[in-house]
Structure 1
Amino acid sequence: AALEAFVARYPNSTARLASLLLALEAYQQIGNQEKLQGTAKHILKIDPNDVTALALDVVLNYMKGEAGDASAASAAGAEAQRALQALASWQKPEEMPQAEYDAKRKNMTAVLNTAGGFAALQSADYASARGYYLKLIELDPSIVNYRRLGFADLQLNPLDVNGFWYLAKAEAIAQSQNDKASAQQIAADGKDRYRRYHGSSDGWDQIVSAAATQASPAPDFTVKAKPTECEQVVAAAQQTDLETLAVADWELILSHRDCSPEAKPAAEKMWQAIQAKQKNNGVGKLAFPIKVISATADSLQAAITEKNQQANKADLQVALEKPFASPPAPGTEMDVVGMVADYTPQPFLFIMQNGEAQESKPKARPKPAHTGKPGVPHRAHAKSALR
């Protein structure tokens, strides 16, 4: 209090900064955080790059941020960047022993990176967070720091698979410390993220076991991503007898035509199979049981597959050979026969020409067995066999 009174009475005194620094030390010793932060801010008005005052202000804002104060977390992050720059040029005071200087420098580096990393995570700046936590695990290889580094890596786009190793390392450390609660929590989170990326949890336990004895990820560490939907569709088209597929599968393969270079020939193969089926049935047409989505006198928008019928989403556009005397109402179930001439992949739509439509009769439903008439599997067989 006496030092603060001196500063207030003699604001221009050359001893002002020294007095505030002494007050800062005193408040730090007695744990008066309010006075401590107020004094730190006084010092920073005089010397914006005072490392000790910056570090203390960062710490206090960081603590408030961890407690849920978003503005304090943001302030801690901004000040941490400035403090790290000031720390880079901070020289040892003459009166400070070398060991004390080294320890203080190391502690402040850890504290400032902790605050910077936390603030970066809160603002979803995962690339910056990654940088902070990479430095932190060298200074403080703790469960929290490894876990937050893993989280940051896995939030990048594209993600860095090293994040899985860092989460595994955090789990391994928790196990070694007999911290069962943390180990279980990290394992659940890590396995879930790993499973979503890899397709299964196979291999996770081996990564944890290896991480327990490693200081960092091996240079060749990798995790294979599960096949994308595009890759799965292409593989299915390449490995399946296309003649046996349902209409939903036709649509699935054709709708992925442009998803990769490999998908285009797979779609072309599917289209040729459809054209062959149409050509070889004797009349050059295909028949579909449909649900009307919308209709005019000379055209139909209709749904073939069960999924599209339930969603009232058209996957067939029909140009009629003869106009309707009275267009059918939406929701009407009909059978339509015509020449499938083209398709659009996205949004998917078969394009039929010379179409003929009539209301369906339950007892006259087309059967899966081949007949002399154009046809496709019964309505129930319109479900995809590839999914």
Structure 2
Amino acid sequence: MKKVVVASVLAVATGTAFYLPAALALDDDQAQGAQSSQLTIKDPAEYNAYTNAVGQSAPAAKASAIEQFLTQYPNSVAKEEMLQQLMAAYEQAGQADKEVDAANRLLQVNPNNLRALTIVVYMEKKQTSDQSKLDDAAAKAKTALAAPKPPGLSDADYEKLKAATTPIFYDAEAVDASAKKDYKSAVEAYTAELKAYGDPAQTQAGPGLLATYNLGNAYVSQDPKDLVNGVWFLTRAAQYAPAGYKDQIEKAAEYWYKKYHCAQTDTACQTNVEGYAAIQQMAKANLFPPDTYKPVAAPPPPSPQELAHQAVTSTPDLKTLALADKEFILANGTPEDAGKVWDVLKDVTAEVPGTVVSATPDTVQLAVSEDAKASQKADFTVNMKAPLKEVPQAGAQVKFTATFDSYTQNPPMIILKDGEPPAAAKKPAAHRPVHHPSGK
């Protein structure tokens, strides 16, 4: 019995590659019998050409004979069957491009042909650098998932065909969504793909394993991230990954687990990854998280307002705080805490260094804090005492002496008055020679 087989591929996902020996066997003889029993070719010449083409045993000869038949009888009642057998012949001959072409021609005759949809979707979703191909694969996958049972195909054979093809179609939707960074849709599609596998063992290798890994990545790529589910599916994938990739995936799972479970200051948890071994055991035994999977989240880090309050209450003399710390408290503290810091800054004249964001002769806006410099946003405004003779360019590193005048908390901005460029350093007095009275 001849088989049409979708070839295995080398799948590359998020920098991790797996060799997936996933063969989808499609029974060519079943399809031929279902079609042929309903066909009546009245023209003797056409019938002879038909029997000659389907009777060829060598794949290349069969493909050539079918192509000749389709050219000679483009409107034959046997066109759909012949195109389906043409796909099989090109598959057996190892001519993937011609196989896809035959599948697309078949879809022009019957847009719901599951075998043709399978071939096109499977081949197009591998072209991850071509978004138009991924979009087409996803669109055809939706068509395939809603396609009716082919006429003449038994219920048992139809169920086998659906079981073999449904994961491929959901995977195409997931790959397309991931490429568009639509991780919510990718999560839904990868989840549906995993549920479509009849046996959880199918997710322990091949495309089912890759889908498990990709589902974990989709969860941790969403905004906001779902670390509970992300850790689960990455850990599950690590339990069955090939030796060359197991370590990499497990480290990724551990990284996200520590992000979720360990406080940043808890070095023991960060080092020992406490509780993770139990998750590994559960993930190896279960494809989807059981009710007993309830990782404990780390306590939330202090809010900016809490950090500002800690700084105020732990500093006996607020004047000793660095300028960056004072600015942080002014921007994030309660009115009471910000007021205490402003009391020690108001009317103080100081030298303020920063990066010019914008400037006029009368006003210079500076990025002083590291965050402001990184985002190229001003957090200090210096109003000049007298117009500048030379206006600094954006990006210049400058210093101004000025007096703290006011501030706004939202948006954060400290305003200074009476700004002046730093005084030029005085030249040392010229050294005059001393003349000895004796002339010596």
TM-score under structure 1 normalisation? 0.68
1:149 corresponds, among 189, 207, 215, to 215
Distance, in Å, in 2 between the alignment partners of 1:287 and 1:93 is 91
Deviation at 1:223, TM superposition (A): 6.8
| Matched residue SS, 1:154 | helix
Once residues 309 and 409 of structure 2 are traced to their aligned partners in structure 1, the CA distance between those partners, rounded to angstroms, is 19
Structure 2 counterpart of 1:237: 308
Is the 8 Å Cα contact of residues 295 and 301 (structure 1) preserved in structure 2?
A: yes
1:151-184: CA deviations, max 9, x gaps? 122222222221222111111222xxxx221111
Instruction: With a CA cutoff of 8 Å and minimum separation of 6, indicate the structure with the bigger relative contact order.
Output: 1
Partner of 1:187: 250
| CA distance 1:186–1:271, shift in 2 (3 Å) | same
CA deviation map 1:238-264 (0-9, x unaligned): 3232544332112112223xxxxxxxx
Match of 1:253 among 310, 318, 329: 329
Residue range with higher mean Cα deviation, 41-50 or 209-218: 209-218
Deviation at 1:234, TM superposition (A): 1.9
Letter in 2 for 1:215: L
Aligned match of 2:82 in 19, 29, 32?
19
Q: Max radius of gyration: which structure? A: 2
Instruction: Please report how far the alpha carbon of residue 101 of structure 1 lies from its aligned counterpart in structure 2 after TM superposition.
Output: 3.1
| 1:3–1:19 Cα contact (<8 Å) kept | yes
Q: Give yes or no for the alignment of 1:290 onto 2:361.
A: no
1:333-382, Cα deviation, whole Å (9 max, x unpaired): 6654x5x45302355432346889984999xxxxxxxxxxxxxxxxxxxx
Count of aligned positions? 332
Contact 1:302 1:316 in 2 (8 A): yes
**What value does the CA root-mean-square deviation take over the aligned residues?**
4.2
Q: Which moved more, 1:125-134 or 1:69-78?
A: 69-78
Per the alignment, in what secondary structure is the counterpart of residue 106 of structure 1? helix
* Match in the other structure for 2:68: 5
Q: CA deviation at 1:40?
A: 1.7
Please state if 1:129 is matched with 2:129: no
Unaligned runs of 5+ in 2: 1-63, 265-269, 427-440
Aligned twin of 2:4 = none
Distance change in 2, residues 1:287/1:151 (3 Å): same
Alpha-carbon distance in structure 1 between the residues aligned to 2:67 and 2:359: 85
Contact (CA 8 Å) 1:289, 1:334: kept in 2 or not?
A: yes
Say if 1:118 and 1:129, in contact at 8 Å, map to a contact too.
yes
1:76 aligns with 2:137: yes
Q: 1:214 aligns with which of 276, 286, 302?
A: 286
Among 166, 172, 178, the residue aligned to 1:109: 166
Which one-letter code corresponds to 1:251 in the other structure?
Answer: E
Sequence identity percentage: 26
* Maintained 8 Å contact 1:295/1:329: yes
Q: Which residue of 1 aligns with 2:238?
A: 171
Residue among 115, 130, 146 paired with 1:85: 146
Structure 2 residue corresponding to 1:342, chosen from 390, 406, 422 = 406
Q: SS at 1:45's partner residue? A: helix
The residue matched to 1:212 in structure 2 has which SS?
A: helix
Deviations 1:193-222 (A, max 9, x none): 556677765458344344223332245746
Aligned with 2:146: secondary structure? Answer: helix
CA distance in 2, matches of 1:254, 1:319: 20
Change in 2 beyond 3 A, CA 1:303/1:134? closer
Segment drifting more, 232-241 vs 102-111: 232-241
1:48 to 102, 111, 115: 111
Alignment CA distance shift 1:358-1:328 (3 Å): farther
- Label 1:90 to 1:128 Cα distance change in 2 as closer, same or farther (>3 A): farther
- Distance in 2 separating the partners of 1:84 and 1:3: 29
C-alpha distance in structure 1 between counterparts of 2:185 and 2:109, whole Å: 30
Which of 208, 220, 224 in structure 2 is aligned with 1:158?
224
CA distance in 1, matches of 2:87, 2:368: 77
Please say if residues 194 and 204 of structure 1, whose CA atoms lie closer than 8 Å, have aligned partners that are also in contact.
no
Judging changes above 3 Å, is the alpha-carbon distance between structure 1 residues 11 and 251 closer, same or farther for their aligned structure 2 residues? Answer: same
Amino acid at match of 1:46: V
The 3 A distance-change label for structure 1 pair 116 and 326 is: closer
Q: 1:246 to 1:84 in 2, by over 3 A?
A: same
One-letter amino acid matched to 2:308: A
Of 135-144 and 309-318, more deviation after overlay is shown by 309-318
CA separation of 1:300/1:102 partners in 2, compared to 1, >3 Å: closer, same or farther?
closer
- Output the amino acid matched with 1:109: T
Deviation at 1:226, TM superposition (A): 8.2
SS at match of 1:124: coil
What's 2:338 paired with? 271
SS of the aligned residue for 1:48 comes to: coil
Distance 1:238 1:23, change over 3 A: same
